[in-house]
Amino acid sequence: MALSLGFLMDPLESVRVDHDTTFSLMLEAQRRGHDVYYFEQGWLRFNGRCSEARMRRVKVRREVGHHFDVLSEDVRPLSKLDVLFLRKDPPVDADYLHATQLVELCPDRKPLFINNPSGIRDANEKLFTLNFPDLMPETRVTRELSVVLEFAAKNAQGTILKPIDGFGGKGILFLAPGDRNARSMVELLTQGGKEPILAQAYVPESRLGDKRIILVDGDPVGAVLRVPSDADHRGNMAAGGTPMKAEITARDLHICQRLKPALQEKGLTLVGIDVLGDYLTEVNVTSPTGLVEASHLDGVSCEARVLEVAERMHGAR
């Protein structure tokens, strides 16, 4: 049965058709005969009774420079959608959080959300992992300079510093033992002690790559190894990392099994976890990427698995 699938996302005009996960999901939805609607965060509003948005029904194709046609455009209540993919890229700022609250205001009939708005609000991509400290590298979260420096002094291999609300590898710094820039680095990231940061023991295996594992309803469906360049410590593709084929190991499966109940409880259906060596470092829930690369490298269709689960969940309702 054809469904109405909505995508709350960044401007469709700007997507990279050979890389963008959201665009690939739209293509798969269209291939399966569903109606594809797209709208931006700024087009969302409340009409006095329910949430609605100016939406475009589109036809998409993997053709650079001519990758979509607008078939129709009108204002529709969100309750008219069967499934709504929340795929707005970070940052998770106040405007983003307000949008996750607005989309829930559907008193007649809520769409199936992928991912659940309340789950997105609860699961900060850096802090959610702290619920599983035994799976992570040794980690501290603080805004205090002395705490970071004391922790870094214990890490003979070095320390990674991350802004809590960072994304795409932005602002991630490697603090080498004895680095005379340490105080300045911490002061900059914490904005002079005003913002907490995450400090994590460096995992040497990260030079071999940062593994992104795609989870659908808690189960791994594909993976991609993001290998940093010789000139950078970050493997994120947005930071210049190179995607390579990755094996899902027994340790990876253990991590996925540990996470699955919590992800299902929060309605986090499409998730990308990051693993360095044997350690979980992040759980990405806002608009996880890597599906296109994992599908290509593994010879599978992660997008089809996502749509299959969406169809099954919708049918079960």
Q: Buried (b) or exposed (e) across 253-290, using 16+ Cβ within 10 A?
A: eebbeebbebbeebbbbbbbbbbbeebbbbbbbbbbbb
CB 91 within 8 A of CB 36: no
Catalytic residue among 56, 88, 110, 234: 234
Closest CA to 272 of 295, 299, 294, 290: 290
Q: Count CB atoms within 10 A of the CB of residue 114.
A: 24
How far apart, in whole angstroms, are the C-alpha atoms of residue 267 and residue 264?
5
Establish whether 226 is a catalytic residue: yes
Residue closest to 271 by CA, chosen among 200, 57, 249, 280: 280
Q: Which of 87, 88, 110, 226 is catalytic?
A: 226
Query: Which of 56, 88, 110, 212 does the annotation list as catalytic?
Result: 212
Q: Is 154 a catalytic residue?
A: no
Q: Which amino acid is at 58?
A: V
Q: Active-site residue among 28, 284, 293, 311?
A: 284
Is residue 110 part of the annotated active site? The answer reads no
Per annotation, catalytic residue among 252, 274, 303, 311: 274
> Known catalytic residue: 234?
yes
* Cβ-based burial of 156 (10 A; exposed 0-12, middle 13-18, buried ≥19): exposed
Q: Is 180 noted as a catalytic residue in this protein?
A: no
Active site residue 236: no
Q: Which residues are catalytic?
A: 126, 162, 212, 226, 234, 274, 282, 284
